[in-house]
Amino acid sequence: MTTNRIAFQSSIAAGDKLPGSAKEIAESLKALPEPHRCPWWVHYLLVSPLRRLTESPEKLVGPFVEPGMTVLDPGCGFGFFTLPLARMVGAQGKVLAVDVEPRVVERMHRRARKAGLAERIDGRTCQLRDLNLAEYEGRVDLVSVIHTLHEFEDLVGFFAQVALLLKPTGRLLVIEPNGHVTTEQFTAELSWCRLAGFRELNAPDLGRKRLAALFAPPVVSS
């Protein structure tokens, strides 16, 4: 049994409010993709300049970023999105870049230093169930989860941490590669997001190759 399924069953046992009917919950659990991560060396291919010809970070996430923002880039890899995000947020902003692979984070740091962006990026190694960002609770404007949600082994824990990190006015942007993640699987992932209390705002049109959704954080009762 995968970590996600164990976490889902724990939520049921704890009496958490679940999205939809029992049938919908069961179908969502069945459709959820099995967590899997690419080998760390694949990131050399993912930062190829050729990738920008078909996937421009500026066009993809630019509409959601403003100067001065604090943006979280989980599963940052070698920084294909991290470095452009650092340029977008400007000198007064900050990009929090985390990954479970230390070699990947170090390579991202080297690329950031070479690009003169190191001061705008807080890059660190995280754990499978801990983003290692407790000091940023309530300070993040945007969490940009791009092509990585299907890699996470504990979605319940991940979304709970994101809810703590986001400002009340913050946003969660989820983008998955269409095909690598099916529409059914993406729908199941979004069900987990709703389970954590996130409120779906819209589904940004980012082209046929991508599945996307934008969420507002859970409402915290006083």
Task: Find the CATH number of the domain harbouring 131.
Answer: 3.40.50.150
Task: Evaluate whether residue 41 is within a structural domain.
Answer: yes
Domain that holds residue 165: 3-216
Task: Evaluate whether residue 221 is within a structural domain.
Answer: no
Task: Evaluate whether residue 30 is within a structural domain.
Answer: yes
Lowest-confidence segment of 50-54, 83-87, 119-123, 167-171 by average pLDDT: 50-54
220 CB-near residues (< 8 Å, 6+ apart)? 168
Length of the chain: 222
Q: What pLDDT score does 156 carry?
A: 86
User: What are 53-70's pLDDT values in tens digits?
Assistant: 889 999 999 999 999 999
pTM, full prediction: 0.84
Task: Evaluate whether residue 56 is within a structural domain.
Answer: yes
Q: Where are the beta strands (DSSP E) in the chain?
A: 70-74, 94-99, 121-125, 140-146, 166-177, 199-202, 210-216
Q: Is 47 helix (H, G, I), strand (E, B) or coil?
A: coil
Dihedral of the alpha carbons of 218, 121, 55, 42, in degrees to the nearest 10: -100
Structural domains in the chain (count): 1
Q: How many CB atoms lie within 10 A of CB 216?
A: 16
Whole-angstrom Cα distance, residue 77 to residue 83? Answer: 11
Task: Evaluate whether residue 181 is within a structural domain.
Answer: yes
Whole-angstrom Cα distance, residue 131 to residue 204? Answer: 26
* pLDDT average, residue stretch 152-171: 94
Mean pLDDT score of the chain: 86
Whole-angstrom Cα distance, residue 87 to residue 67? Answer: 9
CA 131 to chain centre: 11
Q: Is 179 helix (H, G, I), strand (E, B) or coil?
A: coil
